[in-house]
Amino acid sequence: MTRDHWDAMVSHAREAAPNECCGYVSAREGAVTDVFRARSLRDSPYGYELDPRSLLAANDLDDEGYEVGIYHSHPRSPAEPSQTDINLAHYPHWTYLIVSLAGDPTVRAWHMADGRVSEEPIDVE
């Protein structure tokens, strides 16, 4: 991903703090092409819920052959999936990005399927 993509997610997280933000990204061949802000249906520092319009748009991107990632923030905790994040990862072929504002901002990517979690590398250019 470019520095602009990274900055867009971090900026969104900062603006939403102390609540979690959420959004989605599109990618081709592992390279992020766009970052889209979504509205969280929960105004909470402990969880997010992607609004239906954004979820439909992300599904449309998937149908069009894009790789899809869902991002959300952790305002006060590390960029590691919580048990809630793992339980809500309903799209096993999508990537889940977490933006942490605990300390210096961090963005990490995760693959979550059937309760199993593995980190995916992120290159910021």
pLDDT reported for residue 118: 97
pLDDT in tens, 36-68: 999 999 999 999 999 999 999 999 999 999 999
Report if pTM > 0.75.
yes
pLDDT in tens, 70-104: 999 999 999 999 999 999 899 999 999 999 999 99
DSSP, residue by residue, the chain: --HHHHHHHHHHHHHHTTS--EEEEEEETTEEEEEEEE-BS---TT---B-HHHHHHHHHHHHTT-EEEEEEEESSS-SS--HHHHHT---TTSEEEEEE-SSS-EEEEEEEETTEEEEE-----
Judge: domain 3-120, CATH 3.40.140.10.
Answer: yes
Query: What is the domain partition of the chain in residue ranges?
Result: 3-120
